[in-house]
Amino acid sequence: MNYFSSDFKLGILGGGQLGKMLLAETRKFDIQTYVLDPSMDAPCQFGATHFFIGDLMDYDTVYEFGQKVDLLTIEIENVNLDALDTLESEGFEVYPSPKTLRLIQNKGVQKDFYVENQIPTAAFKRFNNLNKLRSEIENGLIEMPFVWKSAQFGYDGNGVKIIRSIDDIENLQNVECIAEQMVPFKNELAVIVARSKSGEVKTYPVVEMEFHPEANQVEYVICPARIDFNIAKKANKIALQVSEAYNHVGLLAVEMFQTHDEGILVNEVAPRPHNSGHYSIEASYTSQFENHLRAILDLPLGNTDSKVAGIMVNLVGAEGYSGKVIYQNIEKIMAIDGVTPHIYGKKETRPFRKMGHVTIVNENMTEARRIAEEVKNTIRVITK
């Protein structure tokens, strides 16, 4: 099929920053795009060929949107899967498939999938609601501390909390959840796997993630990870095992823990472009967004190697500020060699909201990390 400068229509469910960065690649290749998002202020509103406002969890909205396009993909997992099932049964192409998404959308189902496929993961228990969890805690059946995770709709640290005492569960949502053993780990790692429709597979280098201690959000993504070659090899092997088990088409970001005894445990996955791959826009031969596009269109996958060391710094709303956004000192970081800011287009900031990211590229990893720290300490996401 001719995708370029043609009548072919690519549909994207979700219009956030991931979609916006994906649209940069579709515009490069002159591919028509239709985007659906519930917000009229979504970052994709300006980059898409056609932008539609609608509920991603509503069957009719998603089904009718899917009928307008030739192929559907996602930039967020929380979409109506029944509508995608119907579209697929009627011959529409949907990647990743609703079957894959059903195994990932619910974190409890996702954890069960790892156990069934002999994929190493932290011990856990599933609960239908908070009352069942409270009962097990009161009866001494769950060891503290543990990690509470909402089974669905969590993002960017929302829907995840460390529980150290029964008082910590008081303000949690009364929803389906999992209680996961708290793993003492050395590093949080991630591997992005690209898999095309015809089965070609490539992996990006293992990255290392440094988290904000309070917000449970990634502050820095470092590529390549500063780990032993054998650990990187093991992480890559497990990521490929996970990818094969899901048999996804597109990108799969596999987040992992490196334990103190040098084991690798899978934390969770995302079947789409991911925060841990943003560095690739500047640092890799082929960005994760371009390879997602290549994979779902069954085009040859691009080179996933890095050209230089890359570090990504998340730009999040500063504490104490809510309202119209200002990027304070952005011109100061732009004066530094190898620094590229990406502003997502969200007009309103609030504490810890992801508003953009900055990539630092340098041939020297130590220098890249030093500059990343300087960037983090210089730019502030505030209001007037």
Residue-range domain boundaries for the chain: 9-94, 123-181, 183-214+226-304, 308-384
Determine whether the annotation assigns residue 181 to a binding site: yes
pLDDT of 42 higher than 90: yes
Mean pLDDT of 62-72: 98
Mean pLDDT of 156-176: 86
Say which range, 17-31, 46-60, 194-208, 217-231, has the weakest mean pLDDT: 217-231
User: Cβ contacts of residue 162 below 8 Å, gap of 6+?
Assistant: 145, 146, 147, 148, 168, 182
What is d(CA 57, CA 60) in angstroms, rounded to the nearest whole number? 9
Mean pLDDT of 263-289: 97
pLDDT at 219: 85
Question: 44: which 2 tokens?
Answer: 């994709």
Question: 241: which 2 tokens?
Answer: 């095992």
Distances (CA, A) of 201 to 116, 148, 263: 23, 33, 24
| pLDDT category of residue 170 using cuts at 50, 70 and 90 | confident
Share of the chain above pLDDT 70, in %: 98
The residue to which tokens 């987040």 are assigned: 255
The residue to which tokens 């959840």 are assigned: 177
| pLDDT category of residue 212 using cuts at 50, 70 and 90 | confident
pLDDT at 56: 98
pLDDT of 77 higher than 90: yes
Determine whether the annotation assigns residue 234 to a binding site: no
Determine whether the annotation assigns residue 107 to a binding site: yes
The candidate with the shortest Cα–Cα distance to 176, out of 215, 224, 126, 220, is: 126
The residue to which tokens 């400068």 are assigned: 5
167 or 322, which is more confident: 322
pLDDT at 154: 73
pLDDT of 164 higher than 70: yes
Mean pLDDT of 300-328: 97
CATH number of 123-181: 3.30.1490.20
Share of the chain above pLDDT 90, in %: 89
pLDDT at 155: 66
pLDDT of 347 higher than 70: yes
Determine whether the annotation assigns residue 21 to a binding site: no
Q: What are phi and psi of 266, to 5 degrees?
A: -80, 130
Determine whether the annotation assigns residue 268 to a binding site: yes
pLDDT at 236: 98
| pLDDT category of residue 215 using cuts at 50, 70 and 90 | low
In this chain, the answer to whether the domains covering 123-181 and 183-214+226-304 adopt an identical fold is no
Mean pLDDT of 59-65: 98
What is d(CA 266, CA 251) in angstroms, rounded to the nearest whole number? 16
Determine whether the annotation assigns residue 376 to a binding site: no
Asked if CATH classification 3.30.470.20 holds for the domain at 183-214+226-304, the reply, yes or no, is yes
- Beta-sheet strand order (sheet of 146-150): 124-127, 177-181, 146-150, 160-163
Asked if the bond preceding 271 is cis, omega within 30° of 0, the reply is: no
For the chain, give the mean pLDDT. Answer: 95
74: which strand partners?
Answer: 13
The candidate with the shortest Cα–Cα distance to 352, out of 155, 189, 174, is: 155
Give the long-range contacts of residues 90-94, CB within 8 A, separation 24 or more: 92/66, 92/67, 94/66
CATH number of 308-384: 3.30.470.20
- By the 10 Å C-beta count (0-12 exposed, 13-18 middle, 19+ buried), 191 is classed as buried
Mean pLDDT of 326-347: 97
pLDDT at 173: 87
| pLDDT category of residue 157 using cuts at 50, 70 and 90 | low
Determine whether the annotation assigns residue 138 to a binding site: no
Question: 126: which 2 tokens?
Answer: 């599933």
Mean pLDDT of 324-348: 97
Q: Give the CATH fold of the 9-94 domain.
A: Rossmann fold (3.40.50)
